[in-house]
Amino acid sequence: MVLAIKVSFLLLFTLFASFANYGFSIYEDQVGLMDWRQQYLGKVKHALFHSSKSGRKRVVVSTEENVIASLDLRHGEIFWRHVFGPNDSIDGMEFVLGKYVVSLSSEGSFLRAWNLPDGQMVWESFLQGTNPSKSLLLVPRSLKANQETVILVFSKSCLHAVSSLDGEVIWKIDLRENSVEIQKIIQLHDSDIIYAVGFSSPTQLDLFQINVKSGELLRHQTATFSGGFSGELVSVSDDVLVTLDTARSNLVIINLKNGEIRILQSPIASLIDEIAGSMEIVPSKLSGLLAVKVNSLLTLVRVKGEGEVEVEVVDKIPGQATVSDALLVSESQHAAALAQHEGSYMHLTVKLIDDWSSNFIDENIVIDNQRGSVQKVFLNSYIRTDRSHGFRALLVMEDHSLLLVQQGEIVWSREDGLASIVNVVTCELPVEKKGVSIAKVENNLIEWLQGHLLKLKGTLMIASPEDVVAIQNMRLKTSDKSKMSRDHNGFRKLLIVLTKSGKLFALHSGDGRVIWSRLLQPFHKSEACAPRWLNIYQWQDPHHRAMDENPSVLVVGRCGQRMDGPGLLSFVDTYTGREISSSSQIHSVVKVIPLPFTDSTEQRLHILIDAENHAHLYPQTSEAISILQSEFSNIYWYSVEADSGIIKGHALKRKCVDVVDNYCFESNDVWLIMLPPESEKIIATATRNLNEVVHTQAKVVADQDVMYKYISKNLLFLATVAPKSSGEIGTTTPEDSWLVVYLIDIVNGRVLHRMTHHGSTGPVHAVFSENWVVYHYFNLKAHRYEMSVVEIYDQSRADNIDVWKLIIGKHNLTSPISSYSRRDILAKSQSYFFTHSVKAISVTSTTKGITSKQLLIGTINDQILALDKRYLDPRRSINPSQAEREEGVIPLTDSLPIIPQTYATHALQVEGLRGIVTIPAKLESTTLAFAYGVDLFFTRITPSRTYDSLTEDFSYALLLITIVALVIAIIATWVLSERKELQDKWK
């Protein structure tokens, strides 16, 4: 028997080992069962409608997430989409030749043409210039139809003419002379002459006349204006430009008629009743009209530059209002759309520019309050069935969502704010109420049996293609992954997501649908403070006490870009999306520290550090104070000043003296580490995830020996590089570059480990878990990316393996661990080559920490590779002993394997990947992984396969049938044997 067990164990082990490499791989028909992906664009910057021709109506948009995409105008679906790199922001976009859309990006470096129907890149040209400057794109109207159009690009102080057919640069003029900053490029009345207008000094205007065909500089004129220029230069009509003078009290009107510069001015006081107030020109293209913002009141002004200055106020729009660019409706008739808020309605009007009093359309549209105000309007016209003009408008809202409005209704909407996620927390769903049966009983037994028969067919591989489709549908339908209640395995969660626009979304982990969304109030409609969203924290997570309370999250923000700007706090209920409370204009917030203590209502204590290094305790209750008092001397934190290379440790000292605030505490600096700024520059830090669970402190190594992991939550990983090589890869020689990694205990500032990689450089991506840290960097000597692992072990406990000591009680296993006790550590390290560069790196986490770990590596092609941690083991050697092999040590290789089956994203891409979050499910074997970037992706990962549960498609019918068959067989054989025995006895 014992032998048999051994045999089966061996078999199991070999099975395990053979599967270990493919720990995550899934079958083709499992795609979409437990993973989902959503595609987004980001906040729209430019939109071009392509609806004049027959065929599919579409709109091409470019966004702040550097995405260019073509959307279906009817449904808002993506036809095609391209995500540019993070530094490749789009400056302009135009149609050419009626079949291409050209995009200018990277501060005017790249001009690319995309084929409209399918989004194929037709050509790309790299434009070289001299000085950085504004980048402008202009497609001049050609005099004759079917003529090859040129694209004019002003970038890096040079004006380029690019052929629209193949992207060849036809000519190029350097306009750097006289240090003119070109502001506008205009074409006058369909002529061959292009005007480039700019300022060479605050009071001097420069005008260049250039022939489009030859690229010849015809004339260079200058004009001076004593009042000076300031602000944006806006073209009101073909030959009239408007800007403000330096005092911001006069409108400066520049008339370029017949190629001559005439500068006129008109006092603002004549336009507005109250004199005091700031004035701003709203950049827009309204042929004939000028939009200005006076005291945040949108005012439309008609400017006629002919002869004498003629400035007249056309309209003053109260409240939040936005105006679109002018749209040519018919011969010499331009229309513009105006969107303004009136209560819960959005008022959209389309008016003729020449006759502002009449309305083309005047609609009230109900828009969800949580979308905020309208940021941008793009207008498009169409011919109605009764041959009149119809209009549709594309609205970009405050929460970055995109709406298409037509005939007073929202035709479609896209939640494009989700393309710019700041951070994610998860929250459990509510427990199912008693009385409601959890298991939805199948409609009837026959259907259930039929379903299982189909599944059985599938497993026995005798299903026809139609059956396979039916099975797939059934799986998708019957899986209760999108229910709104907690499940036994903990797969269903709410993902609370904070976006850059300050909107919170609750996404269901089953299918990624939005449960609720909320635009946070203190940031909304505040004039004094431009909010910047920092982070989101779990505030209240009731599970033992206070079960009736709903969980809530804390969102922390800051006014403006400065570190000492006033802080903003908001507490949001995660089930309803209701804002429980909020406080704005509080002390500044530099760092938020969630403490490992909760009060009686399960609110987690948080300490917010302000710019003066004062600590503020939240929640502000006396109970919280008493909890804090008992742990007062055990709270430490650190700060990293990357510019000066200083890492500091802080501890709480006493109550604030100068401020009367019970919840304010002073801190003192406990330790300081200073890295020499001439040789080291901090580029990356990593800490352990606070709620990570470690199953065992001991690690049994091959020769029956035990190593104790050095497990401390107070460890900081720090990577520095030589200041010379902190730029891009390839700017320095290997001799001049090095990478130093540190492991620092943040309680007492002890440097546990310091290691130098010579000839290596950043960027460094690191992940810290249990007692190991894995980091990714570039090795200049080997010209390859590398990944290194450092594992730290506690040597002072190493002699506990002595049995006699255990018997006598001399061991220190039960002694409390303190950072002030000096523990000897042993650090083991090993480096491996890795083919890809990395965008993000993360590690799986499970409830109890028993399951082996996988690294989730966001690769350069926006996929997530699940790499077993065993590959990054410092104990790997070329010839591991038999005992080590059994333990699972893989023979040493110089590079880490990339096994295509282990891509967690299988065939999908998570475009613009920025972060990967792992959440433990209740089932020990399973980790939930959520990746965000421009796209969102969610999946379940089982690093050691699902050893603790049957798969969802397990055929219970087969099991039942087998059991029934066995029982029948037993009864039959029993009856037969009885009968035979009886016959034998009668013989």
Partner 1 sequence: MEFRCGFIFFVLICSSVAFQSDELLVDDDEFEGTQQIQYIDAAHTRSTPPPSRPTSTRRRFSDPDSDSKVQFQLEHSFGDSDFAPTGLFTARLKTSSHGGQSLTKLRFSRNAFTEEDRKKFTTLLQEDGFYSVRLATNVLKSTGESYVYSSVKARCLPRVELDEHFVIHMDGVNILAVNYGTPGACPFPRQLKLPSKWSFNSLTFLKSGEQAPRTPVLADDILVGETGEGEGVKPPEKSFWAKYWMYLIPLGLIVMNAITQAMNMAEEQVSGQAAGQAQPQQSAAAIQRGPGSSAVRRR
Q: Which of residues 678-737 bind partner 1 (CB under 8 A)?
A: 679-680
Q: Candidates 779, 842, 859, 926: give the one binding partner 1 (CB under 8 A).
A: 779
Question: Quick check: helix, strand or coil at residue 26?
Answer: coil
Burial class, 269, CB count within 10 angstroms (exposed 0-12 / middle 13-18 / buried 19+): exposed
Q: Which stretch binds partner 1 (CB under 8 A): 74-82, 104-112, 167-175, 751-759?
A: 751-759
- Contact assessment for residue 431 and residue 486, using Cβ atoms and an 8 Å cutoff: yes
Q: Where are the alpha helices (DSSP H) in 529-633?
A: 622-630
Distance CA(895)–CA(262), nearest Å, equals 69
- Contact assessment for residue 376 and residue 333, using Cβ atoms and an 8 Å cutoff: no
Nearer to partner 1, 623 or 631 (CB): 631
CB of 946 to partner 1, least distance (A): 22
CB of 893 to partner 1, least distance (A): 3
SS (H, E, C) 778-796: EECCCCEEEEEEEEEEECC
Distance CA(709)–CA(694), nearest Å, equals 10
Q: Which of residues 821-860 bind partner 1 (CB under 8 A)?
A: 821-822, 826-827, 829-833
Which positions ≥6 away from 975 have C-beta within 8 Å? none
Q: Which of residues 874-913 bind partner 1 (CB under 8 A)?
A: 878-880, 882, 885, 890-895, 897, 899
Q: Which stretch binds partner 1 (CB under 8 A): 164-172, 263-271, 489-497, 748-756?
A: 748-756
Please report how the helices 465-478 and 445-459 are oriented relative to each other, as an axis angle in degrees rounded to 10: 120
Supply the DSSP string of 71-122, one letter for each residue. EETTT--EEEEEE--TT--EEEEEEETTTEEEEEETTTTEEEEEETTT--EE
CB of 888 to partner 1, least distance (A): 12
Q: Which stretch binds partner 1 (CB under 8 A): 194-202, 223-231, 466-474, 797-805?
A: 797-805
Q: Which stretch binds partner 1 (CB under 8 A): 1-9, 53-61, 78-86, 539-547?
A: 1-9
- Among 692, 695, 713, 766, smallest CA distance to 927 is for 692
Q: Which stretch binds partner 1 (CB under 8 A): 404-412, 508-516, 620-628, 780-788?
A: 780-788
> CA–CA distance from 475 to each of 29, 875, 956 (Å)?
10, 43, 14
- Among 855, 844, 858, smallest CA distance to 912 is for 858
Q: Candidates 52, 120, 222, 634: give the one binding partner 1 (CB under 8 A).
A: 634
CB of 649 to partner 1, least distance (A): 8
Q: Candidates 7, 12, 959, 971: give the one binding partner 1 (CB under 8 A).
A: 7
Q: Which of residues 454-493 bind partner 1 (CB under 8 A)?
A: none
186 binds partner 1, rule: CB under 8 A: no
CB of 553 to partner 1, least distance (A): 32
- Contact assessment for residue 838 and residue 898, using Cβ atoms and an 8 Å cutoff: no
Burial class, 350, CB count within 10 angstroms (exposed 0-12 / middle 13-18 / buried 19+): buried
CB of 654 to partner 1, least distance (A): 10
21 binds partner 1, rule: CB under 8 A: yes
CB of 812 to partner 1, least distance (A): 8
CB of 822 to partner 1, least distance (A): 6
CB of 749 to partner 1, least distance (A): 5
Nearer to partner 1, 309 or 899 (CB): 899
CB of 735 to partner 1, least distance (A): 11
Distance CA(671)–CA(650), nearest Å, equals 7
CB of 11 to partner 1, least distance (A): 10
Q: Which of residues 646-685 bind partner 1 (CB under 8 A)?
A: 651, 668-676, 679-680
- Contact assessment for residue 754 and residue 803, using Cβ atoms and an 8 Å cutoff: no
Q: Which of residues 958-987 bind partner 1 (CB under 8 A)?
A: 985
CA atoms within a 13 Å half-sphere pointing along the CA-CB vector of 284: 29
Q: Candidates 222, 815, 901, 973: give the one binding partner 1 (CB under 8 A).
A: 815
CB count within 10 Å of CB 127 equals 21
Nearer to partner 1, 317 or 740 (CB): 740
> CA–CA distance from 41 to each of 322, 413, 560, 648 (Å)?
22, 12, 25, 40
Structure tokens at 147: 């003529």
818 binds partner 1, rule: CB under 8 A: yes
Asked, as a colleague might, if the bond just before 619 is cis with ω within 30 of 0, I would say yes
Q: Which of residues 187-246 bind partner 1 (CB under 8 A)?
A: none
Q: Candidates 52, 179, 733, 756: give the one binding partner 1 (CB under 8 A).
A: 756
Binding-site ranges for partner 1 (CB under 8 A): 1, 3, 7, 21, 633-634, 651, 668-676, 679-680, 740-741, 748-751, 754-758, 779, 782, 786, 788, 802, 804-805, 807-808, 810, 812, 815-818, 820-822, 826-827, 829-833, 871, 878-880, 882, 885, 890-895, 897, 899, 985
